Structure 1
Amino acid sequence: MMGIGIAGRLVIVTGGSQGIGRAIVERFAQFGARVVIADVDEAGSETARQLCEEGHEAHFVRCDVSSYDDIQALASEVQAKHGTVHTLVNNAGIFPRADLLHTDEAFWERLMGINLKGAYLMCQAFVPGMIEQGVGSIVNIGSTHARSGDPAAMAYAVSKGGLITLTRNLAKGFAKHGIRVNCVQPGWVASEGETSRLRDAGVDPDKLFADVSARMPMGRIQTGQDIADSVIFMASSLSLQVTGQVLTVDGGSSLR
């Protein structure tokens, strides 16, 4: 378990307090990584505390990834307390629903600020350290909406499409420095946020998840653990010749 180049490495996961992000944090910790949870949600502090009680090394820093000042403060704290980051997972994101005609400027700016600008600012803050050490891995968390689009979540789909372009651009630009940049693209994940959204909309999430799972090629929708395992692969020594790629984890639902 410890022989894939993750044990002892310093990893930052944005949006790591709950959902897919928390699953990613826990998986890195299980593989022996030193994990920093960067999240605006203070629940990340409890996640870090629990992991430390289990014998892992985890640290929480409150950070709004849409804020340049917050990210600079994060970078300074991480450097002072932990050293240079080996792996950056840009997971923080929001997914409010709205079509084009119901997407006002404030809605657009907030969503892009977190989902796309946040990843750009995080890369800008931590890539210089990776260049200096001559190695690094960045994993961006996308969505299958980037490929197929979703009229009911137009801005969200556009933001995830932008992440793919960011991934490929950075991969090409920084490969010479030993930095790999990839994107893991989840299908529909039964996360806390999605479950809460469905309940707020008056939908029984358990019934809907069961109905959708019955129609999927692999027999179920995805979990946070499915995505976390794929992120581990992209960040590990198992994928040293993989960069600029998009790994879709959707249980075969895109096989049309």
Structure 2
Amino acid sequence: MTDILGISGKTMLVTGGAQGIGRAIAERFAQHGARVVIADVDEGGAALARQLAEAGSEAHFMRCDVSDVRQIEAMAAEVRTKLGGVHVLVNNAGIFPRADLMGTDEAFWERIMGINLKGAYLTCRAFVPWMIEQGGGSIVNIGSTHARSGDPAAMAYAVSKGGLVTLTRNLAKGFAKHGIRVNCVQPGWVASEGETARLRATGVDPDKLFAEVSARLPMGRIQTGEDIADGVLFMASSLSSQVTGQVLTVDGGTGLR
């Protein structure tokens, strides 16, 4: 069978790949023959790498806090030594604590920006030179529809994701001449482990809420990690070889309201 995606045999790295959307992305790329590197502070990434390897894929776990430049540089050096480089970089690592303006102190702001925005910038800075050397690559940043609409109850988070869109467009323009494509996938509301845990912690039954919200959405359900993974796969594949600097929204039509 022809590999129309151009993913088989390529090396991809996903930050925040131990669970949720990141895990779904790692699994989807492995299904299509990619060598997968899972970067996360969550040691569950090691178990996922073993699971993928047992299923016949090549997978590696590297513990890394993307807000720490020293850890990113160490991870990048390890990836280069073991695998030679990265063809696809997915900046997925992110946190989403809620707070409005007055509830956002400086430490809260810096923590969110450090992971959600600075982390993507530092990771790109570490891997783009290799992509230039190898003649190209694909970077996919995982954003949020909050970047477009804003969310007063998650102000710093929304701003960090807006910054990620701007970072995407700047990098796309700057590195297209090197064959590097940079795009952003914006998920809608995803029924991830993190979101489920957050709802339970606030006393909300996630299954009931997801069902109620799904009934009101244009396509009848909220998104899954697999929905987002498919969007990332497209943006990283040869099917989108002339797509760069773009934002792909995967929200089941919610933004049409």
TM over 0.5: yes
For the residue of structure 2 that corresponds to 1:101, the secondary structure is: coil
Q: Which residue matches 1:19?
A: 20
**1:1-256 matched pairs, under 5 angstroms:** 2-256=3-257
Cα deviation 1:71-111 (Å, max 9, x = unaligned): 00000000000111100000000000000000001100111
Cα deviation 1:185-216 (Å, max 9, x = unaligned): 00000000000000000001001000000000
> After TM superposition, where is structure 1 displaced by more than 6 Å over at least 4 residues in a row?
none
- Give the letter for the 1:83 counterpart: G
State whether residues 139 and 180 of structure 2, in contact with CA within 8 Å, keep that contact through their aligned partners in structure 1: yes
User: How many matched pairs?
Assistant: 256
For the residue of structure 1 that corresponds to 2:86, the secondary structure is: coil
Supply the distance in 2 between the matched residues of 1:83 and 1:113 (Cα, whole angstroms). Answer: 28
**What is the CA distance between 1:3 and its match in structure 2?**
3.0
Supply the distance in 1 between the matched residues of 2:174 and 2:106 (Cα, whole angstroms). Answer: 32
Supply the distance in 1 between the matched residues of 2:80 and 2:134 (Cα, whole angstroms). Answer: 13
Structure 1 unmatched ranges of 5 or more:
none
Supply the distance in 2 between the matched residues of 1:213 and 1:191 (Cα, whole angstroms). Answer: 14
Supply the distance in 2 between the matched residues of 1:62 and 1:102 (Cα, whole angstroms). Answer: 31
CA RMSD of the aligned region, Å? 0.6
Supply the distance in 1 between the matched residues of 2:156 and 2:62 (Cα, whole angstroms). Answer: 28
**What is the CA distance between 1:11 and its match in structure 2?**
0.2
State whether residues 4 and 239 of structure 2, in contact with CA within 8 Å, keep that contact through their aligned partners in structure 1: no
Supply the distance in 2 between the matched residues of 1:154 and 1:135 (Cα, whole angstroms). Answer: 35
Supply the distance in 2 between the matched residues of 1:228 and 1:107 (Cα, whole angstroms). Answer: 29
TM-score, normalised by the number of residues in structure 1: 0.99
- Give the letter for the 2:66 counterpart: V
- Give the letter for the 1:174 counterpart: F
**What is the CA distance between 1:4 and its match in structure 2?**
1.2
Supply the distance in 2 between the matched residues of 1:79 and 1:255 (Cα, whole angstroms). Answer: 43
Structure 1 vs Structure 2: percent identity of aligned residues? 80
For the residue of structure 2 that corresponds to 1:238, the secondary structure is: helix
Supply the distance in 2 between the matched residues of 1:149 and 1:248 (Cα, whole angstroms). Answer: 15
TM-score, normalised by the number of residues in structure 2: 0.99
State whether residues 87 and 131 of structure 2, in contact with CA within 8 Å, keep that contact through their aligned partners in structure 1: yes
Supply the distance in 1 between the matched residues of 2:4 and 2:161 (Cα, whole angstroms). Answer: 32
